[in-house]
A and B are shown apart, each in its own frame.
Chain A
Amino acid sequence: MLRLEEAGLCTAPALDAFSGDVVPGELLAIVGPNGAGKTTLLTLLAGLRLPDSGRLTLDAIDLRDWTPQSLASRRAIVAQRDVPNFAWRVRDLVTLGGTPSVARLERTLESMQLTAFSERVVTELSGGESQRVMIARALCQLAPRPEDATRPMAGGILLLDEPTSALDIGQQQRLMRLLARCARDDGLAIVCVLHDLNLAARYAHRVWLLKAGRRVAAGTPENVLTAERVANAFDAELTLLDTADGGERVLLLDR
């Protein structure tokens, strides 16, 4: 489990002291207006920036004490729109950074709906397809419990920076479903910076709402994404609509 204990950054972009856990089996969405520090928080969780105050631990061990290699087998990153410029074959790209068995590689390609693309060249794929390739690569990198063949990724951490930003709504839906399923079925802890609050409300198990380097709310989507909080954080006017069956809510900007 990845745990923030009053972890903060003082150099720009600064982050207030954060506390909280990134829990296996859950999809955690980080939302907030531009410049709120979402990506900075992600780089902090990734260990790229080390906290100036407080602590960041993985399995109760300070992140500084992990070697890059053992950390790489526990957590993987999918950065924003970072598809290679060179003509990699999907199958070769996916194995960069990890050495999955052939069986696991095939399973991962299948779970990301990439089996038909495995011999294709990544520069020729659509935005949604190449995004899935990058996620499949990150999944293949993870080997938190090498001995457990049935759930090889359980306990692994996947960090994604706006994975849906270049996708149309159909691709967004397929991707978010895949991520939610990875968290639930494979026991991954998934942290996703999201721009679209409705996606966060619909698919995330928990939401952190950020504003100006501070977390203003954390909890389930229903508790965090209230009309008042969101309007405040984003400086926007909006209405919260309940769906007909009453189970879900939609945020709607006022005209």
Chain B
Amino acid sequence: MTVAMLADPIRRASRRRRRVLTALALLLVLALVIAALTGAVGLSPRVLLGEMPAPMDAYVWWQLRLPRLLAATLIGAVLAASGTAMQGLFRNPLADPTLLGVASGAGLAVAVWIVLLGGMGGQFGLYGQFVAGFLGALFITVVVFTLGSRAPEGGSLTTLLLAGLVLNTLAGAAGGLLAFIANDQQLRQLSLWGMGTLAHSLWPGVIAALIVMPPTLWVLARSSHDLDLLQLGELTAFGAGLNVIRMRRGVVIATALGVGLSVALVGIIGFIGLLVPHTLRLWLGPGHRLLMPASMLGGALLLVAADTLARTLASPAEIPVGLLTSIVGGSYFLWLLLRRRFH
């Protein structure tokens, strides 16, 4: 057997990885270009080259469109990567930040910040919102994780989904209570933020996302091999040299940071974390070394495309993109459940 033959499967896998990721990246660029040029105010392609033919173009591009595209790209990537990581961590294809209540927990914490703690306006208020979102997401992730790992063998999927259901219900009720006691100005702030829309993506928030999210994505991408090992079960993975506790802590903090910040920025945009890894896994297989970066690109692609639709379908009005993803994602999830049951 020659050296060339020995190296062949490895080389084939890395060639495939390059091809898939390049294709997704090109699709994402294409979606970004289309998204940049369409909207309530159409832009000429020349804007992308730095020229501003119409008087309003500079404002629309620099203050509205560009921050929004950046937010969609980053948040889509983070939500999908968090979904992939949670599915890997729970060894369960149905884990998702929205389904397990992590996003609701972050949302509730942000609502508490706005209503009970006064939610100061300005930069400081915005960053308080981020911290609240992160802490809420972290808390729920830890709760869900404790519940999930305590469940007996085989019962863990039911426990997880029930825990998510309960946490979502509780967070929903608490959120309603907060809205009830909020004053008019807080209520307006709550409803502007809570609908799951990218319409309010302004530079301060986007800059925070630009600082926090790339490192989060980097941590998750680096965990790919460890997530693969974890699929063998904790004991076996330990036997293969994995420090399960340290790896899990890193992934939990990274997903809580990503999801918490996303929720604080744009409210709850559901099901991207379920839809993207699920679809890509059917196509690419379960190995995280390809699945994780592909999910990031796929999530960004999906949210950029969905947001463009949300902006244009009822133009000049906007449909909250969270509603769109929930309708599509919810139907998909229902279909998954039905297929599991009747397979």
Which chain A residues have a beta carbon within 8 Å of chain B's beta carbons?
43, 46, 48, 68-69, 71-72, 75-79, 81-82, 84-89, 92, 96-98, 101-103, 134, 137-138, 141, 159, 161
Q: Which residue of B lies closest to A83 (CB)?
A: B233
Given contact pairs A96-B228, A134-B236, A86 touches B1 in the complex (Cβ within 8 A): no
Which residues does chain B contribute within 8 Å of A138, judged by CB atoms? Answer: 236, 239
Q: Which of A76, A85, A103, A159 has the most CB of B within 10 A?
A: A85
Which residues does chain A contribute within 8 Å of B5, judged by CB atoms? Answer: 102
Q: Which residue of A lies closest to B1 (CB)?
A: A103
Q: Which residue of B lies closest to A98 (CB)?
A: B240
A89 to B153, CA, bound (A): 24
A96 to B237, CA, bound (A): 9
Give chain B's interface residue range (CB within 8 Å of chain A).
Answer: 20 to 34
Does B329 count as interface, using CB distance less than 8 angstroms?
no
The answer to whether A84 and B231 have CB atoms under 8 Å apart is yes
A76 to B237, CA, bound (A): 9
A96 to B236, CA, bound (A): 11
Q: Which residue of A lies closest to B242 (CB)?
A: A68
Which chain B residues have a beta carbon within 8 Å of chain A's beta carbons?
1, 5-6, 8-9, 91-93, 153, 228-229, 231-243, 281, 285-287
What are the 10 closest A-B residue pairs judged by CB atoms, nearest first?
A: A77-B239, A82-B233, A97-B240, A72-B241, A86-B286, A79-B235, A68-B241, A84-B231, A69-B241, A79-B236
Given contact pairs A84-B286, A85-B91, A102-B5, A159 touches B232 in the complex (Cβ within 8 A): no
The answer to whether A97 and B287 have CB atoms under 8 Å apart is no
CB distance from B104 to the nearest CB of A (A): 25
A101 to B5, CA, bound (A): 11
Which residues does chain B contribute within 8 Å of A48, judged by CB atoms? Answer: 235, 238
The answer to whether A72 and B240 have CB atoms under 8 Å apart is yes
CB distance from A148 to the nearest CB of B (A): 18
The answer to whether B286 and A88 have CB atoms under 8 Å apart is yes
A-B contact pairs, 16 of them (CB 8 A): A46-B238, A68-B242, A71-B241, A75-B239, A79-B232, A79-B234, A82-B233, A82-B235, A86-B286, A96-B229, A97-B229, A97-B237, A97-B240, A102-B1, A102-B5, A138-B236
A137 to B6, CA, bound (A): 19
CB distance from A154 to the nearest CB of B (A): 19
A196 to B287, CA, bound (A): 36
The answer to whether A87 and B286 have CB atoms under 8 Å apart is yes
- Return the contact of B232 from the options A84, A89, A101, A103 (Cβ within 8 A): A84
Q: Which of B232, B237, B286 has the most CB of A within 10 A?
A: B232
Which residues does chain B contribute within 8 Å of A89, judged by CB atoms? Answer: 285
Q: Which residue of A lies closest to B239 (CB)?
A: A77
Which residues does chain A contribute within 8 Å of B240, judged by CB atoms? Answer: 72, 76-77, 96-98, 141
- Return the contact of A82 from the options B232, B243, B287 (Cβ within 8 A): B232
Which residues does chain A contribute within 8 Å of B228, judged by CB atoms? Answer: 96
A179 to B241, CA, bound (A): 23
Q: Which residue of A lies closest to B235 (CB)?
A: A79
